[in-house]
Amino acid sequence: MKENINKEFVARFNSEGVFYASSGRINLIGEHTDYNGGFVFPGAIDKCIMAEIKPNGSDKVRVYSIDIDSYVEFGLKEEDAPTAQWARYIFGVCREIIKRGGKVGGFDTVFAGNVPLGAGLSSSAALESCFAFALNDLFNDNKIDKFELAKIGQSTEHNYCGVNCGIMDQFASIFGKKNCLMRLDCRSMEFKYFPFEPKGYKLVLVDSVVKHELVDSPYNKRRESCERVSKFLGVETLRDANMDMLMSVKGKISDEDFKRAKFVIGEKQRVLDVSFALQDNDYATVGVKMYETHDGLSKDYEVSCVELDYLNDIAKECGVTGSRIMGGGFGGCTINLVKDELYDKFITTAKEKFASKYGHEPKVYEVVISDGAHKCE
């Protein structure tokens, strides 16, 4: 990837720049909890966005995406926003740095990536984090702290891409550490690294390669449901609510909002249960919680789809320790905790059964937990 990027950079800009990269992420458990002030348990993976970047002394950004084979130029003022969606991620990062009083000058860049798109592995956060990290290094002497870099990516989603996401993806992409998952408290932003090398198990993603484009921005709608319930309960976020409080308003809020909140409140506890289980190397409990999360995401939060439910059923039938839909939902992949000796059987069965039902095989990615945003040597 690096060689390809460099070849293209030299050909286009007749010089060379500095390389930066940032990763996609997995999340062991804690879904749709980040924007509810709850806990998440992500880690960065060995699939990243990489960019070669060189300041060009002008007030223009010139950017080429190898994967989309598309070139865009834009200025750095609010009115210079590009129309191409992929370029808005980079423009947004520039603007969010500038809005916070940071510096960004014109630069030339070529980038590429190997984070599968639409798989729920956060290719967009990887792109934002790569540029936030790089522009901090190139124009701001690394004075912007890492939490602020993550928030710059998140604000880019909110203000330039129309997704009111939480902080998990950008946090994971910036803070990721080799062989470690991270438990983040999204209210206090305190976090802890958990070494994660489960002996006798593999962590594998099974990608349905399905992306359901649902109208009316369903992700934002889920968030609105949660905010309505919090308001009704008189708490800041659902982090401050419990099942008794929710039961006391049953019938006074819509059934749909009730189900959404029920999932989030249950998920908060599941992340804590998994943290304790991990400290005891109790992967059986981790697995049980993963299946519970899938159930909740499918029936109460309603962000799964038939293809992902089917992959989850196959995992259960094969005796896989834990399996669930991962990420925002509406397509993408399942994350599976599989005993070494079951791995081949599970993958073969999943491919065969899925293909015979849906006409195409799912893609399979073994997960390697890796470092997050960095300057490349």
DSSP 100-133: TT-----EEEEEEE-SPTTSSS-HHHHHHHHHHH
Note whether 31 binds ligand GAF by CB under 6 A.
yes
Pick one of 32, 239, 260, 268: the residue that binds ligand GAF (CB under 6 A): 32
Note whether 267 binds ligand GAF by CB under 6 A.
no
Chain residues 292-351 in contact with ligand GAF, contact rule CB under 6 A? 327-328
Can 169 be counted among the known catalytic residues? yes
Note whether 52 binds ligand GAF by CB under 6 A.
no
Instruction: State the minimum distance, in angstroms, from the CB of residue 222 to ligand GAF.
Output: 9
Determine contact, residues 30/39, Cβ cutoff 8 Å: yes
Q: How far apart are CA 322 and CA 308, in angstroms?
A: 14
The two three-digit tokens of residue 309, written as one number: 């439910």
Cβ distance to ligand GAF smaller for residue 110 or 286: 286
Site stretch for ligand GAF (CB under 6 A), options 45-53, 160-168, 243-251, 289-297: 160-168
Cβ distance to ligand GAF smaller for residue 150 or 338: 150
Instruction: State the minimum distance, in angstroms, from the CB of residue 286 to ligand GAF.
Output: 17
Phi, psi angle pair for 184, to nearest 5°: -110, 130
Q: State the CB neighbour count (10 A cutoff) for residue 25.
A: 33
Element (H, E) at 87: helix 85-99
Chain residues 111-150 in contact with ligand GAF, contact rule CB under 6 A? 122
Instruction: State the minimum distance, in angstroms, from the CB of residue 58 to ligand GAF.
Output: 33
14: left (phi over 0), alpha (psi -120 to 50) or beta: left
Indicate which residue of 108, 169, 207, 309 is catalytic.
169
Place of tokens 């259960």: 316
Positions marked catalytic: 169
For binding to ligand GAF (CB under 6 A), which residues are involved?
A: 31-32, 34-35, 122, 165-166, 168-169, 327-328
